[in-house]
Amino acid sequence: MGRLEGKVAIITGAAQGQGEAEAKLFSHEGANVVVADILDKEGNTVVSEINSSGGQALFTHLDVSRTEDWEKAVEATLSKFGQLDILVNNAAIWLGEGKAGEMSEEEWDKMFAINAKGPFLGTKAALPAMLERGSGSIINIASVSGLHGSKGGATAYGAAKAALTNFTRSTAGQYADKGIRANVIHPGPVNTEMLRGGVEEDRRTAIGENLPLGRLGLPIDIAYGVLYLASEESSWVTGSELRIDGGLYI
């Protein structure tokens, strides 16, 4: 415990799944946490659980594709906790879109609005507070789908995650001399609401069994990687890519 003592973090998509696991782990390690999501009821439940366990958390309604929401989220963070040290751009969607010639323009635009534009807007909103402190850690959650093409139904999802990966490298290079780090994590198949909503149980089981480590990932598997990149243990790490994928691409 205490790896994030004195730190303040905004985590998007923190009302459930990976974001919820990250928020609770961060609190356990001493951080004050802002749970940011469009799911108000679920997000407030996470905050209540953290606060009842002795932590300090705040919920803010955040549509990551809206500049106004980001401005309000950062303002609420600074008003409540007085600083911002960590941004985890975790929120994402997957529509199960089809092949390039089959998907709609609307599907493409929505995927990029949440999965690529969202982290850009978040980074832009968080940077002034981090620059004022002379330090900060930005962790973007991409995907192994952003590392290769798709024969099936992750055309726009993978493209948006690839864009996020490149954006992370640019951010890292541009702000390293200001004490701000940016890194990206590539999760493999993780047993979350998003996967369960788009993949049938039999197929999910088969995917897990076919991984070298023999199972699907759990939200906490990703959360521990995020914790490392948020903590001072990774103070000499920026512009890096961390695959947490059960050995998918050994």
Q: Is 200 exposed, middle or buried (0-12, 13-18, 19+ CB in 10 A)?
A: exposed
Per-residue model confidence (pLDDT) at position 169: 98
Per-residue pLDDT, averaged over 224-244, amounts to 98
Give pLDDT tens digits for 9-61: 999 999 999 999 999 999 999 999 999 999 999 999 999 999 999 999 999 99
Q: Fold for domain 8-241?
A: Rossmann fold (3.40.50)
Whole-number Å distance between alpha carbons of 220 and 204: 18
Q: Which of 58-67, 98-107, 132-141, 181-190 has the lowest mean pLDDT?
A: 98-107
Instruction: Decide which of 209 and 84 is more confident.
Output: 84
- pLDDT band of 192, cuts 50, 70, 90: confident
Q: Which residues contact 228 (CB under 8 A, 6 or more apart)?
A: 234
Per-residue model confidence (pLDDT) at position 149: 86
Per-residue pLDDT, averaged over 88-94, amounts to 96
Q: Which residues contact 2 (CB under 8 A, 6 or more apart)?
A: 29, 30
Is 224 a catalytic site residue? no
Residue 84 has pLDDT above 70, yes or no: yes
Neighbours of 48 (CB within 10 A): 12
DSSP labels, 67-136: HHHHHHHHHHHHHHHS---EEEE----------TTTS-HHHHHHHHIIIIIHHHHHHHHHHHHHHHHT-E
Tell me the whole-structure pTM to 2 decimals: 0.96
Residue 168 has pLDDT above 70, yes or no: yes
Element (H, E) at 181: strand 180-187
DSSP, collapsed to helix, strand or coil, labels residue 182 as: strand
Whole-number Å distance between alpha carbons of 230 and 23: 12
Per-residue model confidence (pLDDT) at position 35: 99
In this structure, which amino acid lies at residue 38? Answer: I
Residue 153 has pLDDT above 80, yes or no: no
Catalytic residue among 157, 175, 224, 228: 157
φ/ψ of 191, rounded to 5, equals: -80, 80
Count, residues in the chain: 250
Residue 198 has pLDDT above 80, yes or no: no
Residue 154 has pLDDT above 90, yes or no: no
